[in-house]
Structure 1
Amino acid sequence: MEDIARGVRSFTIGTAISRVLGLVREMVFALLFGSSRSTDAFNAAFRIPNLLRDLFAETSLSAAFVPVLTEEKAKSKSEENLLASNIFTTLLLVVGAVTILGLIFCRPLASLVAMGFNQIPGKLSLTANLTFITFPFLLFVSLAAWAMSYHNTEGSFFVPSVAPAFFNVFSIAVPLAMFGWYTARGGDPIFGAAIGVTIGGLMQFLIQVPGVFRLGFRYRFYLNWHDPQFRKVMALFVPVAIGLAGSRFNVFVNTILVSYQAERSMTWLNYAYRIMHLPLGLFGIAVGAVALPRFSRLVLENKREEVQLAFKDSLKMVFFLTVPSSILIAFFSYPLTSLIYQHGRFGPADTLAVSQALILYTLGIPFISALRNVASVFYAHQDSKAPMYASFISIGVNLALNLALMKPVGFLAFPLSASLASIVNIAVLIRWLPGKIGNLELR
């Protein structure tokens, strides 16, 4: 428990810095751009590399990479570095190729993701141009996720948790610096925001590189897809990626559905989602990121009772931190939204819409936070299929609820459905968990 608590403290401090800067970024974004045709286009464009990010980076990569890298670390540093080099080279080549394809086909992608924008002259074209600028973010953030996984395997949590702060710094500084330049020339300053997130993604990776080498990593060009350990990573990665692909397909369908909602709906949901991610990142993601290496070591040492104890302690920690914060955010949703966003071109009507969506998002915060922790137990046992199946069930629930609720409640159907689907997801995984760590008595 102390190992997890210590790691969570370190991760939370770094994440707190990143999240505060993230809120500043959102405040600057709202001040400069408000909610408009341009912000809808930017949110849709940036969603495209972000959808793929979930497949290649962070959850999928860490779930597959950390348990196997932990095994290699137990053998020798050279074996650990060989696997890390193999994964890095693969990411560079595969995600690099996907990025090039994304740049070539940015217009069809924009048409596919936000086809409802075609009803408004110029909106779809703007989305395509912004997609071209933001797509390289995918490669940079995938490499950043590789670096984060290496850090976490070595017990280093602060640097990867604070790395997104550098993304936020450049996401703030670049649009501020370029706003006047674009405005003076009659251009759309939203392009500054697109450039900012791409540069920010690069910095999120680069800031972790010195620490990776300090922890003992030595890169060598190595590409061997027949390597047994690489194949083990892929065996774990593919089910996670398939599950996330289903989830991302759900987001993709939701994006299409939202594009047919009232103007600015996509922007309102995005602003609410950003606030919701503050407690999610500070507590849920922090505990999950720290727990996975810990669970992996205990499973490797065949300490089943200690895995169960560590899991129960971490789950209690998640709910202890997220339930009160969710209640507070829901209760103060309007003044909180007003404080963060209601400046410049962001008006009272926008505040009301965002605060309503935020209340519904907060219903799912404890369950989404706990979900990563529960899934980590399966990943530590090198079982990525169970979380995939649970994800498919929740996807079906989410889509069915969206279609059922869109007409009566409009854009608010989406945050409500997401929260309810997260409850279903974790309920299914908890039901299957005794097969890994025995019967649970959660008291």
Structure 2
Amino acid sequence: MPIWNPEEECLHVEERGQQQLERLQSTLNRAFKNVPFYRNRFEKQGIGPADVEDLRDLCRIPFIQREHFSDNYPYGLFAVPLRDVVRIHTARGTGLKPTVSGYTRQDLLVWREILARALTAAGVTSSDILQIDLDSGLANWGRDYKDGAEAIGASVIPLTILPPEKQLMVMRDYRTSVLLTSASGATQWIHHLFKANLNPNALALKTLLLVGDAPDSDLQVRLEEQLHVKTWVHYGLSEVPGPALAFECEERQGLHVNEDHFLAEVIDPGTGNVLPDGEVGELVLTTLTTRAFPLIRFRTGDMVRLTPGACPCGRTLKKMEWFAPQSEEVILVRGVKIYRQQILRLLERALGFIPGAYRFIRSHQDRRDSLEVWLMVDERVFSDEIKEMEKLAFHLGMELAQELGVPVRIRFKERETFGKHEQVDGS
């Protein structure tokens, strides 16, 4: 039996709107009462929870953005006493401070239901064995998926950092039937299979869950053909609140947004104005059932298109088309979002200065996606000893890799290597 009520996925539009409004008002009241950050912002706008009498009134409330997590580090955005928080997640965030999110016991139950719903929509059952293969930047998701899979009775091979050869050995010998990874991670599995001269028919694998990055339909088809699996896409946020906020069903007409737990808006990223359904813009999310760490109008930075209406699968949850990052400020490596300013802050902390010129590239070295950082050589980093330069590059790469949760390679380059479009001191 499902651990959630399947009828929640099939409410009529009017019922859904009423459910969202009631849960929104409860969230606004709790945030206004218990979180000074929200109270002060509401009062600055001259608005209170009672002024939101319709879902359309939500646009009067200001956005929350990633920098506000650092401003309120560590517990400034919690809406419950710490004694009620049973789990504290730490993510790398986009600055020098980590992002902290808390969960009450009820919050964890809600997340377990959300994950179980998404897994069930992908056909995962108690007969399956789920293997989790994610980079450390998405480690929190591994725990969430483990809880959701166990809730429906599936066996779970938790996130474990192993060399690719041993990961493949686990998949083959343990009879993994469901693999959870990023789209770029899945392409590497193909390489490892062929390198090991292992035919996918020799595996029990039948389902591929793709998280972290938005694969296009051509990539999904190629993965299915080469791995002999059915692919399913899940959307989530690496900082907060977690994975599977939206999930793909068997009809593949978009990702169903968990509207009973999240209110989704799409805005013009330039003006902040709300766009009608069907137009492409930035996704803004408001939590409706989260108690410890409510988010009100959080700008995700992700570009999507919302499409209302019932799906042939029977679910009435709005569908979302998710697009790959368009901004030059974001680099996506194995499903982990990395921001240019985030890299610069880390470089400045490690070196004591911002390099005169730099370039950040998603590299595909040794069949593994990584971040390649080019730094201009000047008197501040130059050494006559090549070994000293190599040592600096190694230690700097290790430090960034630990902070960002993806492999990082540092390369020192002459000034002439950089084009006019790169940042250079004094330009």
- Work out which of the two has the higher radius of gyration on C-alpha atoms and give 1 or 2: 2
Give the helix-richer structure, 1 or 2. 1
More relative contact order in 1 or in 2 (CA 8 Å, sep 6+)? Answer: 1
Q: TM-score range by the shorter chain?
A: under 0.3
What's the TM-score, normalizing by structure 1?
0.24
Give the strand-richer structure, 1 or 2. 2
